[in-house]
Structures are given as C-alpha cells and as structure tokens.
C-alpha cells in the first residue's frame, strides 16, 4: 500500500468525515443488534451481546436516537455534495433518498412506539401502524447498509480509505471520475 503522503494519493475523506462515519456505524450496530433481538425470538441471542434483554430494551431507543442525531451531524455539512445532477440519474441516485427516508421513518415511528415516554400519547391504531412502519423501514435500512458494506468490501481500497482518508489517483479516477477531475483541476482563484 502506498504511503498516505505520497504524490499518487489524494484525500478522499477528512478526519471529521471519517469520525462521523464511524460514530454512525457504532450507533447503527447497537440499534440494529438490540432491535433485531427485540424483533424476533430467533434473534434474541443478540441481546446477550448487549447485556441481556432488559438492557436491549433500554439501549435500543437511545442508540437509535443517537444514530439519527449523529447521522444528521455527519450529513449536514456534506449535503451540498449530494445534489442531483444529470449524470447521477444514470445509476439510481434516488437510493440515498430512500435510505434517508427510512431513517426519518424509523425516528418518527420510534418516538410513537417508545413505550416508556411517548406511546401513552397515541391511540393503539397509531402505535400498531408505527410498529409496522418501524419494522419495514428497519428492514430496508439494514438491507441497504448490508449492500453498502458489501460494496465497500468488494471495491478494493474503500475500507482503507475510511481508515486513512486517502485513495490512490487510480482508485479515484476509476470509481469517482467526476470527483477526481474536480480535485485535480487547478484552482480557479476562489
């Protein structure tokens, strides 16, 4: 692997972006493991990794809330990079909006079904519909994250980039050509 400071390397992720990503990852794993343990008896063994059933019940809503807040803090400064451009329509760029929508649905439905604090304010029909929405949105989000992780593992250089923050010029050219051209373009005096 090339030295992170060598001339054939380019900064892909800043330390703040990498930290934000890994904080979201940690809270996602905690929320997903506790949620899956509570979702189905066959997955209850996961609660043992988190201190047992009662701790999973306590941990899940707080980890989910922390994940939503961490994701917002992580994405807010990067959102301008995600404006839809004509070249994005070619590869189903709408997927990122589906996953963000799932996160919002999880947040809202999670508040409604959070028995300790909020469920007393809602009727049983709303709570049941929210529980169904919560399970559906969680399924879509977990599936999307599994695809994200698989792609990161499949594309050589992606995981090391999330550790060091740099990629080779060849990786940048091959996987993100428009970004690569933007990064190597001489500054226009801005």
> What is the maximal distance between C-alpha atoms in the chain?
62
Would you list the DSSP string of 67-136?
HHHHHHHHHGGGGGGG---GGGGGGTTTHHHHHHHHHHHHHHHHHHH-TTTTGGGS-HHHHHHHHHHHHH
Q: Which domain holds residue 40?
A: 12-77+90-157
Residues 56 and 96 in one domain: yes
Domain count, the chain: 2
Question: Across residues 29-58, what is the average pLDDT?
Answer: 93
Residues 66 and 110 in one domain: yes
pTM for this structure? 0.78
Residues 149 and 171 in one domain: no
Residues 97 and 188 in one domain: no
What's the pLDDT tens digit per position in 144-162? 899 889 988 998 988 999 8
Residues 117 and 174 in one domain: no
Q: What is the pLDDT of residue 30?
A: 96
The reply to whether 190 falls in a domain is yes
Residues 138 and 178 in one domain: no
Residues 170 and 138 in one domain: no
The reply to whether 7 falls in a domain is no
The reply to whether 3 falls in a domain is no
User: Quick check: 109 pLDDT over 60?
Assistant: yes
Task: Quickly state the pLDDT bin for 187 (edges 50, 70, 90).
Answer: low
Residues 145 and 169 in one domain: no
Residues 60 and 126 in one domain: yes
Q: What is the pLDDT of residue 100?
A: 82
What's the pLDDT tens digit per position in 36-48? 999 999 999 999 9
Residues 171 and 107 in one domain: no
What's the pLDDT tens digit per position in 67-99? 999 999 998 887 766 666 666 665 555 666 787
Average pLDDT, the chain: 86
Residues 32 and 72 in one domain: yes
- Residue 42: is it exposed, middle or buried by C-beta count within 10 angstroms (0-12/13-18/19+)? exposed
Residues 103 and 62 in one domain: yes
**Which of the residues are catalytic?**
148
């Amino acid at each position: 692997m090339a030295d992170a400071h060598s001339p054939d390397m380019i900064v892909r992720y800043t330390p703040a972006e990498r930290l934000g990503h890994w904080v979201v990852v940690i809270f996602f794993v905690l929320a997903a493991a506790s949620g899956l343990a509570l979702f189905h008896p066959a997955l209850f063994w996961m609660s043992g990794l988190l201190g047992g059933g009662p701790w999973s019940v306590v941990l899940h809503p707080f980890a989910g809330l922390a994940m939503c807040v961490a994701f917002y803090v992580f994405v807010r400064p990067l959102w301008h990079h995600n404006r839809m451009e004509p070249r994005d329509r070619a590869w189903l760029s709408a997927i990122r909006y589906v996953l963000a929508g799932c996160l919002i649905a999880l947040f809202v439905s999670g508040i409604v079904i959070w028995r300790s604090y909020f469920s007393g304010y809602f009727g049983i029909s709303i709570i049941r519909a929210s529980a169904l929405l919560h399970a559906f949105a969680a399924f879509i989000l977990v599936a999307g994250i599994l695809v994200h992780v698989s792609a990161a593992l499949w594309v050589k250089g992606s995981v090391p980039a999330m550790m060091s923050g740099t990629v080779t010029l060849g990786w940048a050219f091959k996987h993100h050509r428009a970004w690569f051209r933007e990064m190597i373009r001489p500054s226009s005096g801005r």
